[in-house]
Amino acid sequence: MTGKTFSLSGHLIAAFSLLALTLSLFSCKGGDPTVTSPDGKIEVNLALKDGVPYYSVSYGDIPLVADSRLGLEAEGLNLKDGFSLGKVKKYSSDSEYDLPWGENKHIRDNHRGMKVRLENASGTVLTIDVRAFDDGVGFRYDVVTSASDSVKVMDELTEFNFASDGTSWSIPGDFNTYELLYRTLPLSSVENANTPFTVKSDSGLYMSVHEAALADYPEMTLRHTGGTSFISALAPYPDGVKAILGPSFRTPWRTVQIGERAVDLVNSSLILNLNEPCAIKDVSFIEPVKYVGVWWGMHLGVNSWTQDSRHGATTQHAKEYIDFASKNGVDAVLFEGWNDGWETWGKGGVFDFTRPAADFDMDEVISYAKAKGVSYILHHETGGNIPNYESQLDTAFAWAKSHGINAIKTGYAGGITGGYNHHGQYMVRHYARVLRKAAEYGIMLDVHEPIKATGERRTYPNMMCREGARGMEWNAWSAGNPPEHQTILPFTRLLGGPMDYTPGIFDITYRNIVGNPDLQAWNGPIATECRVNTTLAKQIADWVVLYSPMQMASDLIRNYEGHPAFQFFREYDADIDWSEALDGEIGEYYVVARRAGERYYLGAVTADSAKSVGCPLSFLPRGKKFLATIYADGPDADWKTNPYSYTISTRVVESTDSLDIVMAPGGGQAVVFIPIK
């Protein structure tokens, strides 16, 4: 939902209508409980067949999800069959709320719902809570059992039986990493997939299966069961148990976003709407930032995280980055390798989150940054050692606060101590614990190797951004992310929430490190055999396309010094108020507009093929003139053969104008619109 598409005022328009009215809003197909979206297009139907619950979803006359089983498999309890239909409680709500940061700060939540109570002889009450929005559906299990202590969930039986085949975009369903390449596959040939699992159905409609409010449960992936049918596959504990819960529990929401255009999926707020309102009383510590840092040098292999002659995070380097940030209006800096522990990582040693490296004078760096008006993002690489991190959490956060720090980038590279799955309940609980603890201390988080984003940023808006997909780092030590990557991310990974992709590499083919005596291979091929599969204009566009409330210009600062195109980042404001995905086809191209204060930004990217898009500027306020500075691919640009060719031009525009966005193969375009006073 975008800030532009509705004009209702007040916070609660209509909630929990009178029963008589509510009942008239719902229909019952042959007596089965049914709920319809406010616009009447989406319908969810629940049915019991021989005591087993099923659901189906349709859009107008088009069936989208055919009868699909619901239920859970639990140790010693029956949560799956023998049910009879109890009370059906219908409800509806239309309200609006604000978030402390974008990509849209103002959101409308308009839905109709039903709670369907199912009971069986074992004393189980399984309530299925279903909500239908104009842009999709969500449902979750609300379970009350007869267990006296805890319930062991052994499997989830939720099916997604797509009513027709289609084209799908997904990463494989791996329980330990999301840093995988996207596959474009016929729906019926996907073996397993993680979510968001996005499909263009043969009916022409777009759908994406995901989850919302994942806080105390394993993640859900999808396993193919034949034809166009999938079943939920949960990340297990090492002993195979999926979740350990109390006698009464609620699962995360299972969601299916639905749209007529691909961009409808992006403009949907369904995932946020299925999360609880903000739980933090004072959110004043939360502020979006753009940042630079000692980071890319390590991935390229010209610097090290360890304290040797190639050490990146030295006091001197830190000061250079702070000077650069301060001169260029960049809000914050990040220094990786600032602390003790990197030398013994993987050799039994542990990270210390309060002991700076010998050549990194924390107090001096902090006071230098403060004097220059630059904020400091701390780095906590845990190496997956959860007991070590949790034992230091309070001291580490208190220490950060005592140094005036309000943002931490965390990391969970490598296997998890104890053999736990990265995306199982053990880790989901850990991430939630860290998030709540960070909120207590007034700290924003940027989580790498995270659990998937499921909209918990509504409840804990200090959850700023996370990785959870192949980011820029892969371009330093592998064949890299293909040009289509950025045209798939908005329709898949980013539906869950913002990503710290770390865009903005200007030295695309790493020509400036050729001959550098410090250069070493460390995680794959040497950097000079790698490159970023992009044009320069696309790197600029990525700052807009790959939204993050903590947005990094990730290149070495020497590649930005004196570069005319860095002006875009200077003029970029990470505190985005409003966004709208304007145009795009998954895996082909994507165009998005954003606003921060009075400035507007446009980002457009294409995959391997050149692409021209006519773009009406009707998102600009009427009657106002703007100076548009356009960062475009040069006429001879091509990501493979001529990636550095770009142009910068200016034009005076207004809302009645249109832009011809011309993009080279693997290219892009970025525009900043500054009002003319």
Give the binding site for Ca ion (CB under 5 A): 448
- List the one residue out of 643, 640, 617 whose CA is nearest residue 630: 617
Per the document, the length of the chain is 677
What is the full DSSP assignment across 52-91?
EEEEEEEETTEEEEEEEE--EEETTEEESSS-EEEEEEEE
The option from Ca ion, ligand NOJ, none interacting with 496 (CB < 5 to 8 A, set by class) reads none
Closest contact distance (angstroms) between CB of 6 and Ca ion is 38
Closest contact distance (angstroms) between CB of 381 and ligand NOJ is 4
DSSP at 539: H
The option from ligand NOJ, Ca ion, none interacting with 8 (CB < 5 to 8 A, set by class) reads none
| 413 interacts with ligand NOJ by CB under 6 A | yes
Pick the binder of ligand NOJ from 341, 411, 480, 587 (CB under 6 A).
411
- Say how many residues touch ligand NOJ, by CB under 6 A: 8
Kindly tell me the burial class for residue 356, based on how many C-beta atoms sit within 10 Å of its own C-beta (0-12, 13-18, 19 or more).
middle
The option from Ca ion, ligand NOJ, none interacting with 381 (CB < 5 to 8 A, set by class) reads ligand NOJ
Pick the binder of ligand NOJ from 336, 507, 555, 577 (CB under 6 A).
336
Pick the binder of ligand NOJ from 117, 131, 224, 448 (CB under 6 A).
448
As a three-state string, the secondary structure of 197-252 is EEEEECCCCEEEEEEECCCCCCCEEEEEEECCEEEEEECCCCCCCCEEECCEEECC
The option from Ca ion, ligand NOJ, none interacting with 129 (CB < 5 to 8 A, set by class) reads none
Closest contact distance (angstroms) between CB of 193 and ligand NOJ is 22
User: Does residue 196 have a cis peptide bond before it, meaning omega lies within 30 degrees of 0?
Assistant: yes
Whichever of 351 and 639 has its CB closer to Ca ion, that residue is 351
Pick the binder of ligand NOJ from 109, 134, 381, 542 (CB under 6 A).
381
How far is it, in rounded angstroms, from Cα 163 to Cα 187? 11
Is residue 119 annotated as part of the catalytic site, yes or no? no
- List the one residue out of 41, 45, 40, 48 whose CA is nearest residue 56: 45
Binding mask 290-329 for ligand NOJ (x = CB under 6 A): -----x----------------------------------
Pick the binder of ligand NOJ from 43, 109, 473, 577 (CB under 6 A).
473
Whichever of 298 and 613 has its CB closer to Ca ion, that residue is 298
User: Does residue 336 have a cis peptide bond before it, meaning omega lies within 30 degrees of 0?
Assistant: no
Whichever of 135 and 336 has its CB closer to ligand NOJ, that residue is 336
Helix ranges restricted to H, 138-180: none
How far is it, in rounded angstroms, from Cα 132 to Cα 376? 43
Closest contact distance (angstroms) between CB of 411 and ligand NOJ is 4
How far is it, in rounded angstroms, from Cα 363 to Cα 120? 63
Whichever of 43 and 336 has its CB closer to ligand NOJ, that residue is 336
Q: Which residues contact 672 (CB under 8 A, 6 or more apart)?
A: 568, 571, 572, 599, 600, 601, 628, 629
Closest contact distance (angstroms) between CB of 448 and ligand NOJ is 4
Whichever of 211 and 467 has its CB closer to ligand NOJ, that residue is 467
Whichever of 59 and 295 has its CB closer to Ca ion, that residue is 295
Which residues in the 145-174 window bind ligand NOJ by CB under 6 A?
Answer: none
The option from ligand NOJ, Ca ion, none interacting with 331 (CB < 5 to 8 A, set by class) reads none
In this structure, are residues 475 and 455 in contact, taking their beta carbons and an 8 Å threshold? no
Whichever of 263 and 505 has its CB closer to ligand NOJ, that residue is 505
How far is it, in rounded angstroms, from Cα 578 to Cα 447? 24
The option from ligand NOJ, Ca ion, none interacting with 162 (CB < 5 to 8 A, set by class) reads none
Active site residues: 473
Binding site for ligand NOJ (CB under 6 A): 295, 336, 381, 411, 413, 448, 467, 473
